[in-house]
């Protein structure tokens, strides 16, 4: 594979949890995506204030990568954001019941963290904003 990064460190510099700690090296256990999708226990308090508004996954490194300016939007309908819930506020997410979650998010990526995981993530973000 060709090295397109050169001496660019934008992803390293932008990663708020220092999961990307040197070129081509990622500590997955520090990644916001790991915390918000895969982690089944409570989020480590040392991470407070580092998630910005990411409640499910994270694309910070992708957003800052200069090579992604060449990407093109997809046309795959199965990957389009559901407009019903894409604009929900934190309060709406916090008010979400398990019954509505199960009905709304069946066969979606949100099944992976599950109802309790999503609620935990939203509560964690709420605690971050309280620190303000």
In which band, very low, low, confident or very high, does the pLDDT at 95 lie, cut at 50, 70 and 90?
very high
Tell me the backbone φ, ψ of residue 24, rounded to 5 degrees. Answer: 70, 15
Predicted local confidence at residue 106, as pLDDT:
86
- Sorting pLDDT into bands at 50, 70 and 90, what band is 87? confident
For 41-62, the pLDDT digits (tens) are 999 999 999 999 899 999 999 9
pLDDT above 70 covers a percentage of the chain that reads 95
User: CA 3 to CA 96: how far, in whole Å?
Assistant: 45
Whole-angstrom Cα Rg for the chain = 16
100-120 pLDDT, tens digit each: 999 988 888 899 999 999 999
Q: Where are the domains of the chain?
A: 10-127
pLDDT for residue 132 is more than 60 = no
pLDDT at position 127 over 70: no
Choose between 37 and 131: higher pLDDT: 37
């Amino acid at each position: 594979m060709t090295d397109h990064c050169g001496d660019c460190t934008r992803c390293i510099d932008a990663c708020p949890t220092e999961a990307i700690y040197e070129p081509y090296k990622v500590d997955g256990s520090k990644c916001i995506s790991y915390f918000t999708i895969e982690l089944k226990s409570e989020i480590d308090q040392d991470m407070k204030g580092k998630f910005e508004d990411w409640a499910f996954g994270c694309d910070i490194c992708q957003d800052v990568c200069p090579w992604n300016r060449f990407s093109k939007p997809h046309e795959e309908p199965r990957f389009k954001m559901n407009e019903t819930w894409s604009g929900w506020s934190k309060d709406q997410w916090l008010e979400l019941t398990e019954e509505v979650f199960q009905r709304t998010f069946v066969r979606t990526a949100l099944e992976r963290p599950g109802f309790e995981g999503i609620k935990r993530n939203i509560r964690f973000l709420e605690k971050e904003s309280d620190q303000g």
